[in-house]
């Protein structure tokens, strides 16, 4: 039997929220049907039992015979009440959300003095919170719209705030569109999703004509991000983004500042891939700052890709002790299924960079690599160690297992080309005779020109 919506809603509440819901339901201001409180009490007592609608209805409404239509009506009314509670709860958490509703009501009642008082309070609260997010810019527009309706309804001949209302709408629209362009870029990188974000050229023209708009923090930050990350700006554009983030990050909610950090890091990684090595330090600094400030956690966990990227950057910069402490201090923040395998794999990479090849192999032997990215990472590292130790039979067996894995796993996306090249180049490297200068030169040229290949540096080192 499908779980009724009413009970699906109840399952999302914490114990504290269930107590608050009970108080809400028992208040005559929100509910005058006693069966609603009885339904909640019945559910809290029997939530783990199999649902029997007839027995439940008889407990909740003993004065009425059971009819399925009455049961569904009861559930429908309770669902509506629970949803009203969720809305009420959100309104209590966002005072700015309340003011447009209050102002609208006072305007309709033609209470001018109370309206002006509430409008002054709303504007003071808005000024205190600043203009750091598109959400707050929309709230500013919403207030101006209520004020316009107030003026127009009292005296149609009086000057209005139409210009202010239009300016606030411009600020919201520009900030939100620039933010969406940055989010689209992030989604395209992470999941190959593509969207059309319109009006960006028009926004660029407006910002040139009206540079004062860039004094709005939300516009300044997202325009800097758009120019640097989405449009692929130069280092000066990146530094402009960094300055804007430092100046205004305290005013952004955690989710938005986290996204901005990740977009800035993405710029650094892309620059690194183009050979601009000094961006490795920039990227690691951004990671360090976002770690300290708690921006990298998703539902309390560090994403495994983020954990691996941080360690790789530290190794690239030869900050071996820092990487060792990072693994020790942050492994517990990984999701449970990665808390053993990923730290072991990362520690093996650290041992390899320190020249401790036997230790690297020992650590790799403890890695249970169920996920493709972890499997290929571990096998790539084993490949390097076997080659450098001259373990040719082990290397040959490893390459065969890689071939079989690639053949069986088709959903690797753009990573497939890299691993096919890894397999192909490793086979040819293994088969090269020491005196085959022509074959070595040909392989070197192919490794240098393979765009999708990420192990170029190691292969060229062996070929040289």
Residue from 303, 304, 327, 301 nearest 314 by CA: 327
Of 55, 72, 93, which marks where a domain is finished? 93
* 120 and 77 housed in the same domain: no
Residue 379 lies in a domain: yes
SS3 (DSSP) at 32? coil
Q: With beta carbons less than 8 A apart as the criterion, state whether 254 and 295 touch.
A: yes
Q: With beta carbons less than 8 A apart as the criterion, state whether 450 and 424 touch.
A: no
Q: How far is CA 81 from CA 6, 10, 40, 69, 104, in A?
A: 9, 11, 11, 18, 24
Q: With beta carbons less than 8 A apart as the criterion, state whether 25 and 39 touch.
A: no
* 118 and 44 housed in the same domain: no
Residue from 10, 2, 7 nearest 75 by CA: 7
* 245 and 104 housed in the same domain: yes
Residue 309 lies in a domain: no
Q: How many domains does the chain have?
A: 3
Question: What pLDDT was estimated at residue 144?
Answer: 95
Q: With beta carbons less than 8 A apart as the criterion, state whether 139 and 173 touch.
A: no
Question: What pLDDT was estimated at residue 131?
Answer: 87
* 389 and 240 housed in the same domain: no
CA distance 393 to 410: 27
Q: What is the mean pLDDT of each run of 10 residues along the chain (464 residues)?
A: 90 95 96 96 93 94 94 96 96 92 94 95 93 93 95 81 96 97 89 89 97 96 96 94 93 90 91 85 92 85 92 94 95 92 95 96 89 90 95 94 87 81 93 88 91 87 89
Residue 307 lies in a domain: no
Question: What pLDDT was estimated at residue 189?
Answer: 80
Residue 292 lies in a domain: yes
User: Cα 240–246–251 angle (5° rounding)?
Assistant: 120
Which domain range does residue 456 map to? 370-464
* 418 and 429 housed in the same domain: yes
* 284 and 137 housed in the same domain: yes
SS3 (DSSP) at 298? strand
pLDDT digits (tens, 9 = 90+) for 89-136: 999 998 999 999 999 999 999 999 999 999 999 999 999 998 899 999
* 12 and 101 housed in the same domain: no
* 63 and 133 housed in the same domain: no
* 121 and 213 housed in the same domain: yes
| Token reading at 262 | 């990740």
Residue 208 lies in a domain: yes
Secondary structure letter of residue 338 according to DSSP? G
- State the virtual CA torsion across 132, 136, 137, 138 in degrees, nearest 10: 150
Of 296, 320, 341, which marks where a domain is finished? 296
* 460 and 424 housed in the same domain: yes
Of 271, 296, 321, which marks where a domain is finished? 296
pLDDT digits (tens, 9 = 90+) for 323-367: 999 999 999 999 999 999 999 999 999 999 999 999 999 999 998
Q: With beta carbons less than 8 A apart as the criterion, state whether 179 and 134 touch.
A: yes
Question: What pLDDT was estimated at residue 1?
Answer: 63
* 219 and 78 housed in the same domain: no
Residue 364 lies in a domain: no
Residue 38 lies in a domain: yes
Max CA pair span of the chain: 98
Q: With beta carbons less than 8 A apart as the criterion, state whether 93 and 126 touch.
A: no
* 15 and 131 housed in the same domain: no
Secondary structure letter of residue 229 according to DSSP? I
Residue 361 lies in a domain: no
């Amino acid at each position: 039997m499908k779980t009724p919506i009413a009970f699906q809603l109840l399952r999302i509440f914490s114990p504290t929220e269930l107590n608050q819901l009970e108080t809400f339901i028992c208040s005559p201001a929100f509910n005058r049907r006693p069966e609603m409180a009885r339904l909640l009490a019945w559910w809290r007592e029997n939530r783990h039992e199999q649902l029997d609608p007839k027995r439940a209805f008889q407990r909740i409404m003993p004065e009425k015979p059971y009819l399925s239509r009455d049961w569904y009506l009861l559930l429908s009314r309770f669902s509506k009440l629970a949803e009203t509670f969720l809305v009420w709860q959100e309104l209590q958490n966002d005072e700015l959300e309340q003011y447009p509703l209050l102002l609208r009501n006072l305007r309709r009642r033609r209470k001018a003095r109370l309206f002006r008082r509430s409008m002054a309070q709303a504007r003071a609260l808005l000024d205190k919170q600043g203009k750091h997010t598109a959400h707050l810019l929309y709230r500013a527009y919403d207030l101006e719209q209520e004020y316009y309706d107030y003026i127009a309804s009292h005296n149609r001949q009086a000057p209005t705030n139409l210009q202010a209302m239009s300016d606030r709408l411009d600020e919201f629209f520009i900030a939100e569109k620039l933010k969406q362009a940055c989010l689209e870029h992030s989604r395209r990188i992470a999941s190959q999703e593509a969207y059309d974000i319109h009006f960006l050229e028009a926004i660029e023209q407006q910002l040139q004509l009206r540079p004062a708009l860039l004094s709005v923090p939300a516009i300044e930050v997202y325009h800097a991000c758009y120019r640097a990350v989405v449009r692929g700006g130069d280092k000066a554009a990146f530094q402009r983004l960094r300055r804007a983030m430092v100046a205004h990050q305290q005013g952004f909610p955690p989710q938005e500042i986290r996204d901005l950090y990740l977009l800035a890091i993405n710029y650094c990684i892309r620059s690194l891939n183009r050979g601009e090595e000094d961006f490795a330090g920039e990227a690691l600094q951004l990671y360090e700052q976002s770690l300290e400030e708690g921006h990298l956690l998703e539902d309390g966990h560090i994403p495994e890709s983020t954990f691996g990227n941080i360690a790789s950057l530290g190794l690239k910069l030869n900050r071996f002790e820092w990487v060792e402490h990072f693994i020790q201090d942050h492994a517990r923040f990984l999701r449970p299924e990665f808390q053993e395998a990923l730290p072991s794999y990362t520690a093996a990479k650290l041992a390899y960079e320190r020249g401790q090849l036997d230790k690297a192999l020992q650590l790799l032997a403890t890695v249970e690599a169920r996920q493709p990215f972890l499997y290929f990472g571990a096998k790539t590292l084993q490949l390097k160690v076997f080659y450098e130790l001259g373990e040719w039979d082990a290397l040959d067996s490893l390459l065969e297992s890689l071939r079989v894995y690639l053949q069986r796993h088709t959903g690797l996306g753009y990573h497939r080309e890299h691993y096919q090249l890894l397999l192909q180049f490793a086979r040819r490297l293994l088969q090269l005779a020491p005196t085959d200068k022509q074959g070595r030169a040909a392989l070197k040229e192919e490794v240098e020109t393979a765009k999708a290949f990420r192990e170029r540096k190691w292969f060229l080192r062996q070929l040289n």
